[in-house]
Amino acid sequence: MIRHNGASKKHKKYLTEKGEIMNNSSRKIEELIEKIAVFTENNGTGFTRFSYTDMDIEARRLIIEEMTTLNLDVYMDYLGNIFGRREGKNKAAPAILIGSHLDTVKDGGKYDGVAGVIAGIEVVRLLTEKNIETENPIEVIAFAEEEGGRFHSAFVGSNWIAGNIKDEDLSKYLDDNGVSIEEASKSLDVLNPIVKRCRRREINAKAMFELHCEQGTVLENEKISLGIVSSITGSSSFRVTLKGMANHAGTIPMNLRRDAFYGASLISVELNRYVKTFETHSVGTIGNICVKPNAYNIIPGEVSFSMDIRSLDENNMFSIINHMKTYIEKIALENKLDFEIKENHLEYPVKMSKELIDALVDNARNKSYSYKVMGSGAGHDTIVMNEICDTVMVFVPSKDGRSHCKEEYSSPRHIAMGCDIIMDTIIKI
């Protein structure tokens, strides 16, 4: 009779070493996340780090220093995208990109975006520690102005890299104080002594990986460690302005009013009603609204609001956009309101690289990590970079599905698992 007395000494040694490596990665990831989290405008209400502010500059300084410590060749372009390059055996070969963004929404979390930048740094650290050379160069990227928190337009940094935003466009992106990206980005000049600057970097890329917190409950509810993203929702945002007539709230009969807020409220209800008619994941949100003169006893004369529309299905997304444009015009006409619809950004739904998805799946299986192939209901810089090269994303669970709030949390161990399969996939390709 053959008796099996557990794992062999060799296998036990492998498991011990694997555990130590994972624990070390988790610790380093957590330390760096906490260091970046210090750079916030708020304390207690969440994490706010808008582009080109003092807090943003200090977070960039930290990331540049981390990249420099790893002997990466570090660049920053005019708009603030940061690149840390590790050369490959073939310097002329297209680069493999890993990264995400450093900016946050107002009162957001400390993992959204940041986890992906740190994942890139950790993958490079592990490759260096293991003395693994890659054929292709690897570039860790920290994208600028992904959230649109300050300039109300998402994916600005990645669209700049992709060439979708031209020099002459920069003056058109304004924050709430009327400051343009062109003017605000000059604040980055303070970092010139520690980083090479360039106007715009030409990207020669083979593939891009972006690790991100899921921002939903699927992985946590199903007790799955990693999500391998097969497609990303299309996203669009608009600024709608309705102009009526401000007047006395007590003296003007209801049938004679030109109430801009009343028009906006009808539009909000219709957006919710119409989007719910679609079966494929589609969402519509009015999340920011400005009422003028904003007084309790004055009929609102002007209202402007954001309108965010997303869908995994391109036809559905454009059906919602076109329906809402027609409805806004109808409401404006019926209520004697002037209106303007300004498109802030528009990104089509995209599918990830099947080759990269398959490779990540194989590596997750080899490591015995639980995984799920899934879609992303949120947009990310990867949706733009898909225009340039093959792309894929790895999700890690979000505690209670919370994101864009101070309660946002993803386990450093799950992030380390994501780094693990991304590193193996990079080696493979």
Residue 192: is it exposed, middle or buried by C-beta count within 10 angstroms (0-12/13-18/19+)?
Answer: exposed
Residue 6, C-beta contacts closer than 8 angstroms, at least 6 positions apart: 12
Comma-separated ranges of CATH 3.40.630.10 domains in the chain = 16-233+349-428
Query: What amino acid occupies position 32?
Result: L
% of the chain at pLDDT higher than 90: 87
% of the chain at pLDDT higher than 70: 95
Q: Quickly count: other Cβ atoms within 10 Å of residue 404's Cβ.
A: 19
Q: Who has greater pLDDT, 9 or 191?
A: 191
Query: What amino acid occupies position 322?
Result: N
Q: How confident is the model over 221-264, as pLDDT tens digits?
A: 999 999 999 999 888 999 999 999 999 999 999 999 999 999 99
Residues 50, 387, 96: CA angle, nearest 5 degrees: 80
Task: For 292-329, give the DSSP string.
Answer: ES--TTEE--EEEEEEEEEESSHHHHHHHHHHHHHHHH
Runs of H (alpha helix) within 181-313: 181-184, 218-221, 260-275
Comma-separated ranges of CATH 3.30.70.360 domains in the chain = 235-347
The H or E element that residue 284 is part of is strand 282-285
Residue 71, C-beta contacts closer than 8 angstroms, at least 6 positions apart: 86, 128
Are the beta carbons of 368 and 15 closer than 8 angstroms? no
**Chain CA centroid to CA 354, Å:** 22
CATH code for the domain defined by 16-233+349-428: 3.40.630.10
- Residue 19 pLDDT greater than 50, yes or no: yes
Are the beta carbons of 235 and 310 closer than 8 angstroms? yes
Q: Work out the pLDDT band at 183, boundaries 50, 70, 90.
A: very high
Q: How confident is the model over 261-305, as pLDDT tens digits?
A: 999 999 999 999 999 999 988 999 999 999 999 999 999 999 999
d(CA 334, CA 316): 27
Task: For 32-51, give the DSSP string.
Answer: HHHHHHT--S-SSS-B---T
Q: How confident is the model over 292-345, as pLDDT tens digits?
A: 999 999 999 999 999 999 998 999 999 999 999 999 999 999 999 999 999 988
d(CA 285, CA 307): 6
Q: Note the CATH architecture for domain 235-347.
A: 2-Layer Sandwich (3.30)
